[in-house]
Copies of this chain bind each other. A is one copy, B any other.
Amino acid sequence: MTDTLRPMPTRTRSYHHGDLRAALLTRAEETLREKGPGALSLRELARDLGVSHAAPSRHFKDKQALLDALALSGFDRMSAVLGASLDGVPEKLPEQVEAVVRAYVGFARDNAALLDLMYSVKHDPEASDALLEATQRWSDLVLRLVAEGQARGEVREGSLEHTALPVFATLHGYADLAVSGMLPPEMDEHGLDVVIAFILRGIRL
């Protein structure tokens, strides 16, 4: 559960690796990025790290647990990226929306496979609550933006969730289309501008 703040001795591999859990996650994400999700194998991961094929099971009870942890760390980083994207941005709706949208799409581009993974942990009935909380953390950011916009009279009235919903949909949908390579490539750049303008039209007074 708690994976931050571990001994992390960084010592030469004797018998105990010292930080196998973190090493597994790191290597797994590299593999995910470079060779796609299909190429993720616990045994190969273990080989890569010079460890026996059953060692990973000490840290992740099964493959899905590793994927969940990967997704969780993805949500954490995404939250950080989105949060940082608002630093120094004037508190006006257009600027804020533009910043967040660009940050989200950028993250999606840089972490396509990971994002896929993050969103496909989904209908797991007992998805770890840590994961659920992580997904909530970044949606809260958008909700706050919309709420503040409403308070400043920049955003139309209406239930917060209902106002923010289409923003999420558009944001997520565009990122997914872009990442999936379903957009004519020349649309890529200008397309983002168009989408941002569309969102702003949709939620403005």
Task: Give me the interface of A with B, judged by CB distance under 8 Å.
Answer: 116, 119-120, 122-123, 135, 158, 161-163, 165-166, 168-174, 176-177, 180-184, 187, 190-191, 194-195, 198-199, 201-203
Contacts and interface: CB of A to CB of B under 8 A. Distances in A.
Q: For chain A, what secondary structure do more than half of its interface residues adopt (helix, strand, loop), or is it mixed?
A: helix
B183 A165 contact: yes
A181 to B, nearest CB: 5
A191 B177 contact: no
Select the residue from A116, A158, A165, A171 with max chain B CB neighbours within 10 A: A165
21 contacts: A116-B120, A119-B176, A123-B181, A161-B184, A163-B194, A165-B187, A165-B191, A166-B170, A166-B174, A166-B194, A166-B198, A169-B169, A169-B170, A169-B195, A170-B173, A171-B173, A172-B173, A172-B176, A176-B176, A201-B202, A202-B202
A189 to B, nearest CB: 12
A135 B176 CA distance: 15
A166 B182 contact: no
Nearest to A200: B202
A194 to B, nearest CB: 5
B174 A169 contact: yes
Given A135-B182, A162-B194, A182-B135, A177 B187 contact: no
Select the residue from A169, A172, A184 with max chain B CB neighbours within 10 A: A169
Nearest to A181: B123
Contacts of A203: 198
A180 B116 contact: no
Contact of A173 (B174, B180, B182, B201): B174
A124 to B, nearest CB: 9
A198 B195 CA distance: 13
B123 A165 contact: no
Nearest to A164: B194
